[in-house]
Amino acid sequence: MVQKALLSLLVLAVYSAYAAEIRHVRSSRAPSSSPVELPAAPFVVSLTDKVPRSSAKKQALRELRGRASSSQTATIAGSDDDEEYLTSITVGGHNFTAIVDTGSSDTWLAQVGFSCFSLDSTPIPAADCFFGSAGFDPSTSKSFVSFPDTNFNISYGDGEFLTGAVGFDTVTIGGLTVTHQEIGLVTHAAWEGDTVSSGLIGLAYPGLTSVYNGSNPDLDGANNSLLYNPFFFSAVQEKAVKEPFFSVALNRGSFAEETNSTLDPNLGFLAFGGIAPVEVTKTSVTVPVQGFETTSGTSGFFFYAVDVDSWVFPGSNKRHTAGSVILDTGTTLNYVPTQIAAEFNSKFKPPATFDEDEDTYFVDCDATAPAFSATIGGVEFTVDPKDQILPFLDDTGNVVCISGTQDGGPAEADNIFILGDTFLHNVVATFNIAENNITISERVAY
Ligand SMILES: *[C@@H]1O[C@H](CO)[C@@H](O)[C@H](O)[C@H]1NC(C)=O
Ligand SMILES: *[C@@H]1O[C@H](CO)[C@@H](O)[C@H](O)[C@H]1NC(C)=O
Ligand SMILES: *[C@@H]1O[C@H](CO)[C@@H](O)[C@H](O)[C@H]1NC(C)=O
Ligand SMILES: *[C@@H]1O[C@H](CO)[C@@H](O)[C@H](O)[C@H]1NC(C)=O
Ligand SMILES: *[C@@H]1O[C@H](CO)[C@@H](O)[C@H](O)[C@H]1NC(C)=O
Ligand SMILES: *[C@@H]1O[C@H](CO)[C@@H](O)[C@H](O)[C@H]1NC(C)=O
């Protein structure tokens, strides 16, 4: 049996270089709620789940919370149950397991001989990064090409950070192959791994990629950033896939599977070129991805951000709040504006309670969860109450439960909120990177 720590999985790139400068730009394109017929995907890979991460992360997160300063970091510094979605990736002929993340853009692997650090940058044994392999060895790949005088440098919302080298190699995910994909090769990792995955597949926009000119990561910033096409963007450009969309269906895992096995093999699908193969209802909507503007006057796409028209739960009066909301497979819970979280959590029977030390709403495991939905593009998407109460084992082996919907910070225009796996368990999200729109399709209840 694996001890589950009270931890956050917030694999969401921290957009440090521009964090203070980005402004939400509203797209004028109207949503379309006419039912969308998306083709079946030619490339499909199953998702599996691996639960435990190092319990050291709990303490590290607490420490980090005190240091959080940017609004991005503050917004996402919650704590929650660990859960992540993994799949297989082949790089240069070698197979690895990697996290599937729509909240960041770089695809990276640990490189053999990497150095491991704690989140406060203290060197620790390599084993303590808990990667699932010794890492990728570029010298064993016939197709690898290095990208000299550049560096890979990324920080995630939960305090993890990585630096390393950059190269190109043949990458295959779900049968879809890109022959010259830019990837990060991690040589320095502050990473609280899961003992299964050795890297991550970033599916968000080129504007969020994290490769820089020069070999010294300490000099990295907006002026030496070398943006590039992430895996799926390359696939579309290389015409390796006909339709420019990918789709995710994340199944909710079972507590029994999570607690008693290391891998839950049946956690949904990542699909390329069509919709993920799960049953959907006729309820769907296509909405524009919301872009962001930098102070330099340029605007672009970074995250898969959408406008949420209103939050719907008993007593909410279908309230609209400021700020954008991203669809992020790499974040377990929903992080909604403070007031929405407070009111929603008060509606559990008995009410959920906020624990200041853990910065988390806890709830009775036998509580009744209130109805909850988010209206997007005029269509209401309901979250199954099953997703609103997450059991985990605390340090003493007792089962305790946390709320699936947590405080993501004040409802301010520049804040970014998250619809994470709590929400995504209930829909299929299909991301069109050419049209910059997202089709959200309601799943048949399961
Ligand atoms: C979304 O993109 C598709 C192209 O795949 C396009 O046909 C459709 O009009 C777009 N929908 C909206 C609402 O913009
Ligand atoms: C790597 O994964 C692919 C696809 O899952 C599989 O066909 C192949 O046999 C695997 N190769 C090795 C060396 O495990
Ligand atoms: C990196 O910067 C140097 C110096 O400004 C420049 O000569 C070089 O072309 C840049 N490299 C890339 C890949 O852009
Ligand atoms: C790059 O890494 C250094 C530490 O090695 C860090 O101080 C810096 O903020 C990072 N820059 C970016 C853009 O992530
Ligand atoms: C980018 O700006 C930083 C800080 O202004 C500077 O130290 C660094 O040398 C610059 N990097 C490049 C590649 O120009
Ligand atoms: C895990 O397995 C043990 C031993 O079979 C059992 O007692 C326990 O109830 C299981 N836990 C869950 C959550 O199903």
Residue 45 to residue 173: CA distance in whole angstroms: 7
Whose alpha carbon is nearest atom 8 of ligand 4? 218
Ligand 5 atom at shortest distance from the alpha carbon of 223:
1
List, for residues 396-418, the tens digit of each pLDDT value: 778 888 999 999 999 988 788 99
Q: How many CB atoms lie within 10 A of CB 370?
A: 21
pLDDT band at 2 (very low <50, low <70, confident <90, very high): very low
Residue 411 to residue 165: CA distance in whole angstroms: 38
List, for residues 247-296, the tens digit of each pLDDT value: 999 988 776 666 666 667 778 999 999 999 999 999 999 999 998 876 56
Q: Domain ranges for the chain, please list them.
A: 21-443
The number of the ligand nearest the C-alpha atom of 45 reads 2
List, for residues 284-320, the tens digit of each pLDDT value: 999 999 988 765 666 788 889 999 999 999 999 989 9
pLDDT band at 386 (very low <50, low <70, confident <90, very high): very high
Helix spans in 296-378 (H): 338-345
Beta bridge partners of 188: 115, 163
Q: 218 CB under 6 A from ligand 4? A: yes
Ligand 2 atom at shortest distance from the alpha carbon of 95:
1
DSSP 423: H
- Say how many Å lie between the CA of residue 362 and the centre of ligand 6: 22
Q: Are the CB atoms for 257 and 446 separated by under 8 Å?
A: no
CATH superfamily, region 21-443: Acid Proteases (2.40.70.10)
